[in-house]
Amino acid sequence: MEVVQTEFESRSPFGLISLCLLLGWALLQAQNVTAADSAPGNNEIEDSALAFNTRLSEQRALFNQQIDSLEFEFGPFDQTLLEPLRSLTDLAIEAGDFEDAGGIINRRLQLIRIAEGPQSLAQSDTLADLIRNDIRRNRWQEVTESFEHLHWLHAQNPDVNASSILKALSATVAWHYTAMYLDEPRLRIRHFQGATELVRQLIDLAEVRYGEDSPELIPWLYQDALERYRVRRLFESKDELGAQAKSAITRLDSQREGLNQVKRIRRLAESMDDPEAEAMALVYEADFQMLLGIRTAPRLYQAAMEKLEEAGVDRKKVEAFFARPLVLPESDFYFSIDEALAAQTIYGYTVGAQAEDTDDVIHLGDFIAWDESLPALRRPEIPELASTVGRELYAVEVRFTINSIGRVRSPRVEQSEPDQARVKRNAKDAIEAMQFRPKFSNGRGYRTRNVTMRYLYPPPL
């Protein structure tokens, strides 16, 4: 049998110890694979659980021996420790020992910072592991600090492109929004303030990187418009969150400022030489006018329909798009009808044709409310690194009518889980507080009957 000399064998006579440990681990793995080939029967479940725990313990012991050997050979800060530490992290997580996993991840961060420097982006993946592990431990403050550290790292590296920096900053904003319904209620307003401050930084950075007249600003400007709308709904909250907002946030005419941002988006879209994007910008401006109760919204919707037809979009497709009522505001800016429809499909939006001269059957899909204090606001997108977070959600299926100005009439609950009067009442109250883009045709809005929605919201902490 030919023996291949490893790198650390050539560096130290003690390398053979590590090699033996690795070979032993490989043999153990082979034994585990062989044992796994025959699935245990019902009478062997307890034995299987014991075997699983034994396997994990043996593998963790082998990696700890390997790490001890490497430390003896090369010292406690050598980079050869990173791979076995990563494997040991995975085993600790598999065993449910998240506290131990957190300590190992922090040691990996220390090794990377010693080797690469405290501002190195090489630590990004390990910080991501730390975020996911702290989420398992419900350590929300530590998660917040790691997200902020990630966007700080991106900002400290001049070679990082603008898109990556903005995405890191946006992910931190999204985390603050997510933490509002995970963290302690007394900290919700602090998270909202953190998000607000970062959104302002995001716009400033985007303007510097792209220029104040660049259409690349559009997604970021729309995020700012949404944030300003959320400020208004925050002030309208009737519980302690609203009281905290009134004492902590200086309220200007935030929603009208949001409309001004959407008007700016429209001007930028006009410079794109893309009639469909320009038409969609008209739709969004009309949406914000609807939210403000401005009566010129139908005029803008009509102008958008005409612009879409000028852009070559099939007339039937345009009519079908405007026949679909929608909760306002949209979560993102979409540059085309197809993008907007695809997003609706993700939420579960469906339209079923009925007999002639009757309304289509419209199900608006799932609406997940942000917080028990913000029941009429859709939950902002959860950052990808925090995709495993979860809370119990009450689910209520509601049928209602949307009138010609986008307000809900006659909501009635068809199904509720749990089946409690309070849960049903909360769902109906939330839906009645929403503003919809109504079915629109021939320059005016129309009533839509028998619309359904699955409304989900988190119970109070």
Q: How far apart are CA 169 and CA 152, in angstroms?
A: 8
Q: Which of 60, 80, 113, 76 is nearest to 11 (CA)?
A: 80
Note the pLDDT of residue 404: 96
Count Cα atoms within 13 angstroms, Cβ side, for 436.
29
pLDDT digits (tens, 9 = 90+) for 269-294: 999 999 999 999 999 999 999 999 99
Please classify residue 1 by burial: count the beta carbons closer than 10 Å to its beta carbon, then call 0-12 exposed, 13-18 middle and 19+ buried: exposed
**CA distance linking residue 372 with residue 380, whole number of Å:** 14
pLDDT of residue 251: 63
> 40-89: per-residue pLDDT in tens?
555 555 668 777 778 888 888 888 888 888 888 889 999 999 999 999 99
Residues in the chain: 461
The mean pLDDT value of the chain amounts to 88
**The pLDDT value given to residue 246:** 85
d(CA 379, CA 347): 12
- Looking up tokens 């053979």 gives 16
| Residue 2: predicted pLDDT | 36
Return the CA Rg of the chain: 28
pTM for this predicted structure: 0.85
Q: What is the pLDDT of residue 38?
A: 46
Q: Report whether 108 contacts 126 (CB < 8 A).
A: yes
Q: Which of 174, 175, 225, 185 is nearest to 328 (CA)?
A: 225
| Strand pairing category for 361-371 and 448-457 | parallel
First to last CA, the chain: 63
In the numeric block, which tokens belong to residue 279? Answer: 């038409």
**How much of the chain is helix, strand and coil, in % rounded to 5?**
60, 15, 25
CATH T-level fold of 1-36+48-159: 1.25.40
Q: Is 327 exposed, middle or buried (0-12, 13-18, 19+ CB in 10 A)?
A: buried
Nearest CA among 122, 142, 120 for reference residue 131: 142
Give the pLDDT of residue 159: 86
Distance from CA of residue 69 to its chain's centroid? 42
CB 370 within 8 A of CB 377: yes
Task: Collect the ranges in the chain with pLDDT lower than 70.
Answer: 1-47, 251-253, 354-359
CB atoms within 10 A of CB 352: 8
User: For position 41, what pLDDT does the model report?
Assistant: 55
Task: Write down the pLDDT at residue 14.
Answer: 39
CA–CA distance, 174 with 107 (Å, rounded to integer):
27
Q: What pLDDT does 3 receive?
A: 37
Domains of the chain, by residue range, sit at 1-36+48-159
**280 with 334: CB under 8 angstroms?**
yes
What integer pLDDT is reported at residue 42 of this predicted model? Answer: 53
The β-bridge partners of 412 are: 399
